[in-house]
Amino acid sequence: MADPDISDVKRRMDGALESLRKEFAGLRTGRASASLLEPVTVDAYGSHMPLTQVGTIGVPEPRMITVQVWDRSMVKAVEKAIREAGLGLNPQTEGQSIRVPIPDLSQERRQELSKVAHKYAEQARVAVRNVRRDGMDLLKRQEKAGDLSQDGLKTWADKIQALTDTHIRKIDEVLASKEKEIMQV
């Protein structure tokens, strides 16, 4: 009997964790980060394009993000996209460059961001649990087909559960770290 391949389960759980880290990078704390503007899409050339495909994002100082737009005709569209992205930012145009000052966060806004972080973390936990369920279903199918003994099923199920517990713990650690960063005045 061949051992089940749980590397796919681990890879998918790692993907859920990496996705959470990217989501958290887009959450605004008190300081500027280029990843803050990465989810912004611009109406350009008849389609929606990521901001990174119409300009260069830079962080010249801790409370300022700059966007150097490559095509002069796209400056207004980029400014509008940043303003309407729901990030609470107010861009200022200077020629082909757009300056985006990062305002201080109020305590109310910090709590709001903390709730959003919790929502992202819960989505990641659900994703990890779904991967666990898929892995367990695979094991049960293998056992039913006679490719895996009941003892083997128990052993591999315990390994998948341990992997799940480890990833849930990592998600909680990343959440705690992000929450501390958000609440830091």
Tally of domains within the chain: 2
Quote the pLDDT of residue 132.
95
Residues 110 and 44 in one domain: no
Residues 110 and 178 in one domain: yes
- Asked which of 49, 83, 101 is the last residue of a domain, the reply is 101
Quote the pLDDT of residue 2.
56
Write the secondary structure of 89-117 as one string of H (helix), E (strand) and C (coil): CCCEEECCEEEEECCCCCHHHHHHHHHHH
Quote the pLDDT of residue 133.
95
Residues 56 and 119 in one domain: no
Residues 13 and 51 in one domain: no
Residues 83 and 128 in one domain: no
Quote the pLDDT of residue 113.
82
pLDDT along the chain (185 residues), means of 10: 76 92 76 78 87 89 88 90 82 90 80 87 95 93 90 92 96 93 78
Q: Phi/psi at 61 (nearest 5 deg)?
A: -150, 165
Give me the domain span that covers residue 15.
Answer: 7-24+106-183
- Asked which of 42, 68, 101 is the last residue of a domain, the reply is 101
